[in-house]
Chains A and B, each alone.
Chain A
C-alpha cells in the first residue's frame, strides 16, 4: 500500500498468505455446523452470529465494488465533459487535450517511476532474501528479516523528507556523472537537474519503500525450497551459489514474480514521496535526469485536490479511477500467479 507505514508483522502476515500457497478457506475442523441440540433462543443467536460473520465477509466485496461505483459516479462529470469544457472549467487543465491526453503523460510517469523502482528493488530484494535464507546463520535470520521489515514501518511522508534532505544531495553527483558519461543514451540525457528532483531519484526512494514487501515474500519462498532439491544439487558437487541457481531460484521464480508485482502495485500508488521529491511536468520524456518532465497520477491528485473546483475534483477522481484499475489489475495478476504457484511448485 502506498503511503502506509505497514509494520513488520502485517507485511509478514501478507507474506505468509502469499508464500504459503492459498490457505484453504474452509473451516479447519469438521465441527458441527449447527449444534446437535440446543435451546431455541440459542439457535437464533447462533444463526444471528453466523449471519453477522457472513455479512462482515461480504462487506469486503461490497466495499471494493463501492470504491469502483462511487469513483465512477463522481468522475462522471469529467468523463462526459468535452475537452473545451474541461479546459475552460479547470485552471490547470492543459489546453487542447482530451481527458485521455491529460492522463496519458501521468500514466507514463507513474509507470516509469514504478519500473525504475522495480528494476532497482527486485535484484536487491532477491539478494537480501538469499542472504537471510541461505547465507546468514539460521539463528539470526529472524532478526535480520525484522530489520528489513522496519523499512516498511516508516510513513511515506517521512521518506519524502528524507529523500529531499538526505538522499537527493548525495545522488546529485552520481546523476551528474551519469549524464556526462552516458549522456548519449536518451535515458541519461543531460543536463542533470540540480537539485535532483527528477524521476530517477523518485524511483530510488520508491525502490527503498517496496524493498520490504518484495524481500519478505522472496524470503518466505526461498526458505520453502525443498531440502531434497538443495541436497541433490550439493551432492552433485555444486557450490552454494550453484545450488541456489539449480534449486532455490527455479523453485522461487514464480513467488519472486508475484512479489515483484505486489511491489509494483505499491509503487504505482505511492503518493507522498513522489509529491515531495518530484518537480512535475506533463511530457512523455524518457530523460530520467531532467526536472519538470514527469508526474504521477497519485502525486498529481494530492497536489491539485485541495484547491480544485467541482469539475477539477471530478477530473482528478477520473485519473484516480485509472490508477485504481491499473493497481487492481496488477494485484489480481500477482495473486493469480500466487494461486497458481502451488500447482507447479510441488516437488512430487
Chain B
C-alpha cells in the first residue's frame, strides 16, 4: 500500500511570491525521507504540497508535476480531499480534537467515510491503530477520556494513530517531535522506524541527529537570501549525506556552521 511520489520541477507560489523553486526528487515507498534545512527554506511548504494542505492558504498554487504512482496529484480530476486521505499528516504540535475522547479521535477520519461503523469494528480499528502507534498499552483502560488529558508525547502518538487509522499510502510529519521532551522524542523515533515497513514516510526536522537516526534518504533545502525562493540543494542516502555530501553548503549546515 505504500506508494512512491515523484516530483519534477516543482514551483510553489503564495500569490505572486515564489516560495519554493525547481524541486525534483523521488520519494521511495517504505522508507523514511528526511527534509532538512535552515528555517524558512521552504521544506515545510514543500511538505504541505504533497497532500495539498498548502491550499488552505488563499492564493497558494504550484507549477510542475507531482505524481503518486503515476497519477498527477494536481490533475483536474483529482479531489484534494481524497489526496489528503491517501497522504496523511502529523503536525509539529500535537492536535487531538479537544472535545473528542481518545477512541473518537482515532476514529475521526474513519467516521467521515463510514458513519455506521459497527461497535466491534470500531474497537478493532482503535486497537490496531493505537497498537500501531505504540500507545495501546498506555491508554487501553481510558479510551473514553478526552484526548487532551494525555501528555504531549502521548498526544502526538495519538495523532499518529489517528492518521494511520484511515490507512493512508504516505505519512507526512512536520517536525513531529520538536515540541516534545527527549524521552517522548525517542518514542516517536522508534515508532517511525516501525511505521516505515508499511508506509512511505516524509519527515521535516530541524534536528540533524534525528534525521541521521530515522531516515533512509535525506534532502537538504536552502535559501539564497531573504525573499528568495527555497531550493533543493541535494538529496542522497542519509549515510552519504552525513558523511560525504557533494555540496559545500550541505556540509556547512550539517556540521552546524549555520542554520
Contacts and interface: CB of A to CB of B under 8 A. Distances in A.
A238 B81 contact: yes
Contacts of A61: none
B225 interface: no
A23 interface: no
Interface in A246-281: 246-247, 250-251, 253
A253 to B, nearest CB: 8
Given A232-B159, A234-B53, A235-B53, A226 B95 contact: yes
Given A250-B97, A251-B99, A236 B148 contact: no
Given A137-B58, A231-B56, A236 B112 contact: yes
Contacts of A233: 97, 108
Given A236-B84, A236-B85, A250-B97, A231 B112 contact: no
A28 interface: no
Interface stretch (B36-44, B86-94, B132-140, B226-234): B86-94
Interface string B49-77: 00101001010000000000000000000
Given A228-B93, A231-B91, A236 B53 contact: no
Interface string A319-348: 000000000000000000000000011111
B135 to A, nearest CB: 17
Given A137-B58, A347-B148, A229 B95 contact: yes
Contacts of A253: 99
Contacts of A230: 56
B112 to A, nearest CB: 6
Nearest to B85: A237
B109 interface: yes
Contacts of A344: 98
Contacts of A348: 93-94, 98, 148, 152, 155
A239 interface: yes
A235 B97 contact: no
Contact of B108 (A231, A239, A246, A251): A246
Contacts of A88: none
Given A246-B97, A346-B98, A348-B94, A237 B166 contact: yes
A229 B163 contact: no
A229 B56 CA distance: 13
B84 A234 contact: yes
B231 to A, nearest CB: 26
Interface of B: 51, 53, 56, 58, 81-82, 84-85, 88-89, 91, 93-100, 108-109, 112-113, 148, 152, 155, 159, 162-163, 166
Given A229-B95, A235-B51, A348-B152, 20 more contacts: A137-B58, A228-B91, A228-B93, A230-B56, A231-B95, A232-B95, A232-B96, A233-B108, A234-B56, A235-B53, A237-B82, A237-B113, A237-B166, A238-B109, A247-B97, A251-B99, A344-B98, A347-B148, A348-B94, A348-B148
